[in-house]
Amino acid sequence: MTLMLARADYFPSDAMPVAVADRAPQPSFPPHRHEFYEIVIVWRGNGLHVLNDRPWPVTCGDIFYIKDSDCHSYESVNDLVLDNIIYCPERFKLGLDWSQLLPMDDPHHRAYWRLTTRGMALARNVIAQLEQESCKTDLLSLQLTEALFLQLALILRRYRYAVDQAWQLPEGEQLDLLMAAIQADGENPFDLALFCQHNHLSERALKQLFRQQTGMTISHYLRQLQLCRAKYLLRASDCLIGQVAARCGFDDSNYFSVVFTRETGMTPSAWRQQFEHAGRVLVHHS
Ligand code: RM4
Ligand code: NI
């Protein structure tokens, strides 16, 4: 049985539609579902977010829209700081078409986005107000909470971008540009020098900025991404180990096995075997 988080434990009253659960830090947290929806905004640090059996390495600027039917957990956290904006759609009173802004019951909604630096600054501001207002229980506070939540949902909608659609990015968002480029093509090794040359950026400054904002080096992050991709393919596909290695950007499958074993403490096939009895989950190639 997966853990189920109850509304009564997280909202101040039965009428309150939104609450802020700040996690500074977010510790490791076992797989769970909720009697509510959740928007996760990552401010700092890094960790592994497993959403419906799919691992995502997370760091600052990542946002996730979690539905009540979703199951997720946090592992290998390292100074991970995030806010959970939790909400119950049936409690909304404004009568808006929220489905333009939030996943609601769309089964194909995209759960993972990134927020630009500007978007993060604006969101931070609204969340601070939301946090105060959503603790109170009088009628005006309920209404103001919903209005602030609407404002937040609009800001996220405007400033979020999908990592595979970098052209959506406003100019000058260097870290965002880098993240998008890194994640756009998981199969080819990422060439930082080339990226910097194309975008007229200083490699040294970018490395420093990345480290400052995420608490890890670019190569550490690249390795994490490769390993997440490998774990996902091992679990969800029937690819041979050599194919998995190639699809994660390793030329040499022996070297892939060495790295995988060093980082996870298990060989790729042992890792795969753990899930053998559970059957394969559905693969969506992305
Ligand atoms: C936990 C964790 C969960 C969230 C609850 C409210 O610490 O962040 O994902 O559902 O808080
Ligand atoms: Ni949760």
Q: Does residue 23 have its Cβ closer than 6 Å to ligand 1? A: yes
CATH (domain of 23): 2.60.120.280
Number of independent structural domains in the chain: 2
CA of 263 to the centre of ligand 1 (A): 27
Q: Are residues 136 and 170 in the same domain?
A: no
Give pLDDT tens digits along the chain (286 positions).
789 999 999 999 999 999 999 999 999 999 999 999 999 999 999 999 999 999 999 999 999 999 999 999 999 999 999 999 999 999 999 989 999 899 887 888 899 999 988 899 999 999 999 999 999 999 999 999 999 999 999 999 988 988 766 555 554 577 888 888 888 766 777 899 998 888 777 888 889 888 988 899 999 999 999 999 999 999 999 999 999 999 998 989 999 999 999 999 999 999 999 887 665 555 544 4
What atom of ligand 1 comes closest to residue 72's alpha carbon? 9
Whether 187 contacts 239, CB under 8 Å: no
**Exposed e or buried b for every residue in 180-215, given b needs 16+ CB within 10 A?**
bbbbeebeeebebeebbeeeebeeeebbeebeebbb
Q: Are residues 21 and 35 in the same domain?
A: yes
Report strand pairing: 3-5 vs 37-51. unpaired
- Given 133, 161, 189, the domain boundary residue is 161
Taking the C-alpha atoms of residue 55 and residue 48, their distance in angstroms, rounded to an integer, is 6
- Domain extent, residue 138, equals 3-161
If one residue of 23, 58, 65 were mutated to test the ligand 1 pocket, choosing by the most ligand atoms within 8 A of its CB, it would be 23
If one residue of 9, 11, 29, 131 were mutated to test the ligand 1 pocket, choosing by the most ligand atoms within 8 A of its CB, it would be 29
Q: Which of 156, 161, 41, 35 is CA-nearest to residue 101?
A: 156
- Given 112, 135, 161, the domain boundary residue is 161
CA of 112 to the centre of ligand 2 (A): 14
Q: Are residues 188 and 110 in the same domain?
A: no
Q: Considering only CA atoms, which residue is closest to atom 1 of ligand 1?
A: 29
